[in-house]
Structures are given as C-alpha cells and as structure tokens.
C-alpha cells in the first residue's frame, strides 16, 4: 500500500494520522470527564477526599494535558500532510446538500483538532496551580502570561469548542456509517487498512461554502457561550465585603499574597479584600512596644489560580464556615528591627507568630513589608493531604502596604 494519497485512495500515512488522532481524542474525552468528576468531588463540601483521590486526579489531568499537546502537534502535521497530498474525491459529490455537509464537518474537525487543545494549553499557561504537562519544554507558551481573565476565557473556549468537536465527530461517524450501511459504497473502506480504491463522482463541492459554514458554526457556538455568561469572569465563593476600619494609620495601598508548593511547583495567590487597624508611635513605651495591629482577611477573596475552588473547600480553608482570618500582634522594638508578635487565626485554630517587619516612615507616610512562613497543618488545612510532594506543608505569606497617618493621630 503506498504511503501517499492518490486521487482515488488514501495512503498509509493519512490512515495512521486519522486513526491515531481518533483514538487519542476519544481517550481524551473519557480522561477529561473522569478527571473533572474527581475534581468536583474534591471541591464538594460533603465529600471526604484522600491523598489517593487527589493524586489520581492530578495524574489524569497530566495525562489529559500531555495527550492534548500531542494531539495538537499531530493535527498540525496532519493538516500539513493533507495540503501536500491529493485528496480523494467524495463518492457522493453529486448530492449537493450531503456533500457540502460532509465537507463542512471535515473543516470543523480540522479546525477543532487545533483549537480545542490550543485553548486548553493557553488556559494551562495562563493560570497557576496545575497538573503539569509531561515534557521537558516548560509549562508556558510564548506571548501567554499568567492572567486570571485570560485563563477564564481560554477555559470557557476550551469547553465550548470541545462540544463543537464532539458534534463534528458524531456527524462524521454517522456519515461514515450511512455510506457503509445504506449507500454501500467504499467511503469508509477507503480509510481502513489495505488498499481500497473508488471512483469519485464528477461533481465535487468547492471549499468556500463549507469553510464559511464551519466558521459560522464556530461563531454561533462561541456566541451562545457568551450569551450564557461562560466568557464572563466567573464569580467564586463570595462573602460580604469587610467593613472599613478606623485606624491611626490608614492603609492607602498594599498587597497580601501567599505561595504554596504543589507538585514541587510554586503556586502564588493573593487576597483582594483585607483590612488593617494599626496604631504606631515612633517612640516605644517602657516595654519596647510601639503599637499594635489587627489584620482581618476575607478568605473567599483569595485567587489561587486553578486550585482556588479546591482551596475554598472544607478540607482546606473551609471558607463558608470560616470566612475570615485574623492576625493580632503587638509591634515590638527588637533592637535591630521591628517585630510583630501575636497570634494568627485561620479556621478555628490560633497559632503564635513572630514576624519581622521592614518599616520606613517619611513624615506622615509609612511603607512596610513582611514575610511569614507557616505550617498549614497547624491550622487544620489539608490534613488529608500528607504527601509533601503533592502539597507542601509550608505556606509563605508576603505583604506590603503604604499607610498615611490619620489627621487625628498624634505625632510622637
């Protein structure tokens, strides 16, 4: 059997591409469904999960993503090969509607086999907290930065386009079976092993109308997804915004970030809603105390990439039951710097902490920063995940702020 196509038959290379990609795509749908189902169990408030479940879920997602990248590469090679080869004509080209529907489905298949894995790949590169792609070339994509909005859009596109691909596959299979069972022609047999030739009809559909039809179907699918809100920013767990506090020092700007190690890769996140009640005097009292600080953090305001929903669940932050965390500390003169000594409460656990604070005051403006590393197990976070190669115990908390002295605060 020849490697290349002829005008009346498909060659070995085309058949290998066809059946390899077909089997991988069907496997991908199954893997994606199983992995997504397990992820839903992990995020569900009433289902207990174990290390084994989490490890299996990450494994399946890694296989799914690695196969997706492989399918993308094979699809591109398949298209390049098709461009270089003669295409055997349709055996039903004289049936106007049927032949043009068949060509439209072929364009949908070609385009979707590129667009579906590519959109998933963009989502993977734009988010943090992930099961890695198994290859040595890094996890990012050129010109794709870590961006929450881009991650949500690409995830939605991946979901929408996978259904276009699924429908196209169903139509393609139905058409092949119709040719084989009802028409009893060689359309299906031409793609099976062995050499099978068949004379195409004299009339063949052009490419312009099927391409336009495929573009219209993609546009309609994306438009429907947009109308359903799938392309809009997704609202995660929400809590009432924290009330403003009256403080000697008013926070004008700042950031509160955390970093975890998941699968030995750093995943960073940030809290969007937090308040700080600060009293501070440049001259310490007899006990070396400059003042005190109370920081209240809205847990549901955390953004932690693709594992945000998992982090909000009962096995981790339990955000519905414990929507805030609190740091209460005295600001102590340590001789060579400033320390915040107090307790940090997360969930129902309070742990003593001592955190160095870098502080610079210029008139009525103060810039401060600090970093603290805690053990998540001390707070009952992820106690079911004891494997540090899956999720490390240490969690780093970094913060910066700029505050101005309130007008009524005294200057010492």
**Is 411 inside any structural domain?**
no
pLDDT one-digit tens code per residue, 236-264: 445 567 888 888 899 999 999 999 998 77
Same domain, yes or no, for 159 and 271? no
Please tell me the predicted confidence (pLDDT) of residue 412. 46
**Is 286 inside any structural domain?**
yes
DSSP 391: B
Strands 302-303 and 324-333 come out as: unpaired
Angstrom distance (rounded) from CA 52 to CA 296: 34
CATH code at position 323: 2.40.128.110
Same domain, yes or no, for 38 and 114? yes
Same domain, yes or no, for 68 and 122? yes
Same domain, yes or no, for 211 and 131? yes
- Return the HEC string of 221-286: HHHHHHHCCCCCCCCCCCCCCCCCCCCCEEEEEEEEEEEEEECCEEEEEEECCEEEEEEECCCCCC
**Is 2 inside any structural domain?**
no
CATH code at position 37: 1.20.950
Same domain, yes or no, for 211 and 257? no
Angstrom distance (rounded) from CA 106 to CA 162: 15
User: CA nearest 98: which of 199, 17, 171?
Assistant: 171
Please tell me the predicted confidence (pLDDT) of residue 51. 73
Maximal CA-CA distance, the chain: 101
Please tell me the predicted confidence (pLDDT) of residue 335. 79
pLDDT one-digit tens code per residue, 3-28: 999 989 999 999 999 999 999 999 99
Angstrom distance (rounded) from CA 371 to CA 358: 9
**Is 3 inside any structural domain?**
no
What parts of the chain have a pLDDT lower than 50? 236-237, 410-412
Its pTM stands at 0.80
Same domain, yes or no, for 208 and 254? no
Please tell me the predicted confidence (pLDDT) of residue 411. 45
**Is 72 inside any structural domain?**
yes
Which of 227, 261, 296 finishes a domain?
227
**Is 96 inside any structural domain?**
yes
Same domain, yes or no, for 313 and 186? no
**Is 64 inside any structural domain?**
yes
**Is 324 inside any structural domain?**
yes
Please tell me the predicted confidence (pLDDT) of residue 385. 83
Angstrom distance (rounded) from CA 104 to CA 75: 17
Same domain, yes or no, for 223 and 260? no
Please check whether residue 188 is in contact with residue 177, taking contact to mean a CB–CB distance below 8 angstroms: yes
Same domain, yes or no, for 93 and 193? yes
Which of 227, 262, 278 finishes a domain?
227
Domain that holds residue 157: 12-227
Same domain, yes or no, for 278 and 194? no
Please tell me the predicted confidence (pLDDT) of residue 234. 59
How many domains are contained in the chain?
2
**Cβ contacts of 144-147, under 8 Å, gap ≥ 24:** 146/305
Same domain, yes or no, for 257 and 370? yes
Same domain, yes or no, for 220 and 264? no
Which of 167, 194, 227 finishes a domain?
227
């Amino acid at each position: 059997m020849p490697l290349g196509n002829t005008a009346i038959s498909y060659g070995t290379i085309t058949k290998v591409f066809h059946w390899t990609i077909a089997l991988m795509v069907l496997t991908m749908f199954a893997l994606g469904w199983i992995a997504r189902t397990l992820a839903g169990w992990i995020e569900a408030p009433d289902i207990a999960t174990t290390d084994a479940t989490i490890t299996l879920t990450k494994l399946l997602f890694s296989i799914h993503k690695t196969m997706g990248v492989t399918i993308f590469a094979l699809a591109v090679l398949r298209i390049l090969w098709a461009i270089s080869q003669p295409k055997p004509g349709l055996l039903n080209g004289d049936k106007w509607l049927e032949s043009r529907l068949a060509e439209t489905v072929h364009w949908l298949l070609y385009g979707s086999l590129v667009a579906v894995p590519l959109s998933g790949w963009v989502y993977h590169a734009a988010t943090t907290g992930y099961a890695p792609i198994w290859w040595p070339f890094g996890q990012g994509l050129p010109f794709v930065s870590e961006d929450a909005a881009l991650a949500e859009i690409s995830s939605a596109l991946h979901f929408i386009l996978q259904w276009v691909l699924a429908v196209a596959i169903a139509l393609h299979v139905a058409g092949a079976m119709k040719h084989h069972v009802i028409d009893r022609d060689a359309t299906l047999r031409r793609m099976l092993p062995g050499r099978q030739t068949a004379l195409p009809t004299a009339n063949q559909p052009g490419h312009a109308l099927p391409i336009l039809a495929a573009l219209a179907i993609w546009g309609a699918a994306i438009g429907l997804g947009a109308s359903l809100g799938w392309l809009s920013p997704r609202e995660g767990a929400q809590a009432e915004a924290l009330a403003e506090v009256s403080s000697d020092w008013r926070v004008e700007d700042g950031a509160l970030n955390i970093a975890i190690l998941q699968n030995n890769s750093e995943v960073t996140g940030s809290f969007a809603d937090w308040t700080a009640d600060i009293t501070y005097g440049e001259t310490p009292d007899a006990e070396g105390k400059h003042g005190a600080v109370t920081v209240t953090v809205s847990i549901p305001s955390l953004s932690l990439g693709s594992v945000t929903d998992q982090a909000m669940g009962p096995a981790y932050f339990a955000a519905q039951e414990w929507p805030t965390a609190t740091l209460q500390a005295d600001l102590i003169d340590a001789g060579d710097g400033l320390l915040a000594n107090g307790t940090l409460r997360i969930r129902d656990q309070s742990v003593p902490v001592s955190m160095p604070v870098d502080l610079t005051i210029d008139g009525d403006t103060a810039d401060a920063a600090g970093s603290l590393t805690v053990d998540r197990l001390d707070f009952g976070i992820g106690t079911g995940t004891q494997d540090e190669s899956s999720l490390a115990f240490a969690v780093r908390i970094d913060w910066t702020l700029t505050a101005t002295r309130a007008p009524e605060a005294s200057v010492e």
